[in-house]
Chain A
Amino acid sequence: DTEVTQTPKHLVMGMTNKKSLKCEQHMGHRAMYWYKQKAKKPPELMFVYSYEKLSINESVPSRFSPECPNSSLLNLHLHALQPEDSALYLCASSQDLTAWETQYFGPGTRLLVL
């Protein structure tokens, strides 16, 4: 099973709302990633967890808060977002955090901030 699942598929939220995105994998992978993708652009790395510890934060604003409760789950908590945060949010996982490992992507959550 090489599947990464993400919920919800779509999310509409106001600028004062708090919401969370969820990602799950059962491949035994120890690295998990959050990417943001705007239309017609490549994915931009936001956060990386390795062995449930935050390894990379690409200077993401604090209104995005990642959490890795266990090795299979990755959450992204959203609070006080701006309309420019509207995008496709992709989760990915890999065996570990090394440059040659394949990253397996979920289908994404399409977020609209009003």
Chain B
Amino acid sequence: AQSVTQPDIHITVSEGASLELRCNYSYGATPYLFWYVQSPGQGLQLLLKYFSGDTLVQGIKGFEAEFKRSQSSFNLRKPSVHWSDAAEYFCAVGAPSGGNEKLTFGTGTRLTIIP
């Protein structure tokens, strides 16, 4: 079965600084990888996804992520964060599980932005 690890529970970054959120996955084949963002009290919004091709993926709101098969990682980056980026970020892997295909989410990373 697939699994996702987000090692950082909480990250604090100054506004304007760069950001990297870590995600490691476990899956036997090439996984389908997603990053979702959730603002407080809201649903989840897709930032970007990877399933084949170029390993550097561009998403919305200036985010990008790089798939590294050798490290089983799919880290999310942004060169300069804005106060509105404060939210919970979930990495997820989509893979067949028990005959049914579904998303498996990591535990999330809460991002705090300080002025």
Name the contact of A55 in the complex, choosing from B32, B100, B103, B110 (C-beta under 8 A): B100
Contact with A along B68-110 (1 / 0, CB 8 A): 0000000000000000000000100011100011110111101
CA distance in complex: A103, B34 (Å):
10
Chain B positions within 8 Å of A92 at CB level: 43-44
**Given A42-B105, A43-B105, A100-B94, also A107-B42 (CB < 8 A):** yes
Asked if residues A107 and B108 are in contact (CB atoms below 8 Å), the reply is: no
**Given A42-B108, A100-B32, A102-B34, also A4-B43 (CB < 8 A):** yes
**24 residue pairs bridging A and B, Cβ less than 8 Å apart:** A4-B43, A40-B108, A40-B110, A43-B90, A55-B100, A56-B100, A99-B32, A99-B95, A99-B102, A99-B103, A100-B49, A100-B51, A101-B94, A103-B103, A104-B46, A105-B43, A105-B44, A105-B45, A106-B43, A107-B42, A108-B41, A108-B42, A108-B43, A110-B41
User: Which B residues lie at the A interface, using CB under 8 A?
Assistant: 32, 34, 36, 41-46, 49, 51, 90, 94-96, 100-103, 105-108, 110
Task: Add 9 more A-B contacts to A55-B100, A92-B44, A102-B49 (CB < 8 A).
Answer: A41-B107, A42-B90, A42-B108, A56-B100, A88-B41, A99-B96, A100-B49, A103-B103, A108-B42
User: Which A residues lie at the B interface, using CB under 8 A?
Assistant: 4, 40-43, 45, 48, 55-56, 88, 90, 92, 97-108, 110
